Amino acid sequence: MITSFTFAATPRILFGTGSFNKLPGLISDYGKRVLLVTGGASFRNSSQYRRLINQLEEKALPYFKVGVTTEPSPELIDQTVNIFMEEKIELVVAIGGGSVIDAGKAISAMLPLRESVLTYIEGVGAGKIHPGEKLPFIAVPTTSGTGSEATNNAVLSRIGKKGFKKSLRHDHFIPNIALLDPRLTLSCPAGITATSGLDAFVQLLEAYTSTNASAMTDSLILDAIQIANKCLIPACTDQSQNINVRAGMAYASLISGIALTNAGLGVIHGLASPLGGYLKIPHGVVCGTLLAEVVKTNVNSLLATENPDNPYLQKYARLGGLLVLGQTNPELNNKTIKSYCQLLVQQLENWLKLLKIPRLSQYGATEKDLPKIIEKTGQKNNPVELSADQLTQILKNRL
């Protein structure tokens, strides 16, 4: 039975090799004054960037630039808004990884308001609701991970003992255009490709097993998971320059953003929020390092109920059959459910070893930090309610 659901709007999506060449024309469609938000030196030193700047100058389109080299903070957003508020910016374009796109999204949302973004951040601000007014925004990802090019939120963080990692959110913040050109990801290093790719996979898996999943999100997710399963390891190893492999990961990341917007996420991201606020640790590393442990804990908790008809247990089993055996519709019964779930956990553990995903202790996490992290952890739409002891053990196992 297909139950009732709602589905959020998606951006206008331009996907394909060479689609970056369309960006100057898209910019001119929205106006003449554009703010370009980019990452570090890598993209700004590329031929694509030089070509874009030349084309903007040929079209006599005034452009302004801001660089984002770390995960964006409220202070960065406020500073950028203060610098450019009098420049009559008509469009914001973010070209980079998830942090760059989140920064661009927040800048486009705050330029019309001229207030501190902290006022509107969920859980840490003044509780004021953003009116949803924003400048037109184009997202151009250069990594395949967060899916931020298709989401309605911008993640902002402040690192430290009183830090946070929270969202500025409104349905109107979904980018006007998501432009995905797999060529832009070819230069992405193996380590970032791995952690970004695992972030996308975690988002797909958590949205699939979310208590808010629907028939529509399930259909999108299962196809994207098959693609990610085929492309993740090759993209990080011997086929990093294969444009089809890179396109597969770009597509999986895009769908992960659409899926999380509509189905929500689970306790991996519930843990990632306080961890990312407390420690200077990349979001993809957190998601990747916790993936197998959280899935194993969820599966064991569901198996303990001795209810093979539990839909979430069946979903985990279906993923095991899909990822390891290539079975799109595996036969599920009391015996196979447990074995397929074990296959899933083993596959995820193998990925972490093969991709050499770091442990939390490599970023300074210690056992004494765990109570503070657990205290701020939310379960989100996790398919099973985990205890504080279970959450603590998950983190201990990845220290």
pLDDT of residue 223: 97
308-328 mean pLDDT: 95
27-35 mean pLDDT: 93
User: Which class is 190-397 in CATH?
Assistant: mainly alpha
Nearest Cα to Cα of residue 99 among 192, 204, 228:
192
- 3-state SS assignment for residue 370: helix
Nearest Cα to Cα of residue 110 among 82, 136, 81, 139:
81
Reduce the secondary structure of 36-65 to three states and give it as a string: EEECCHHHHCCHHHHHHHHHHHHCCCCEEE
- Per-residue pLDDT tens digits for 169-222: 999 999 999 999 999 999 999 999 999 999 999 999 999 999 999 999 999 999
Give the angle subtended at the CA of 56 by the CAs of 50 and 57, to the nearest 5°: 90
- Longest CA span, the chain: 67
What's the CA gap between 241 and 258, in Å, rounded? 26
Sorted by where each begins, the domain ranges of the chain are 12-185, 190-397
| Average pLDDT of the chain, as a whole number | 95
- Quote the pTM value: 0.97
Which residues does 64 contact at the CB level (< 8 Å), separation at least 6? 33, 34, 35, 36, 84, 87, 89
Our separate counts of H helices and E strands in the chain read 14, 8
pLDDT of residue 45: 85
Q: How confident is the model at residue 31 (pLDDT cuts 50, 70, 90)?
A: confident
According to CATH, what is the number of the domain 12-185? 3.40.50.1970
Domains 12-185 and 190-397 share a fold: no
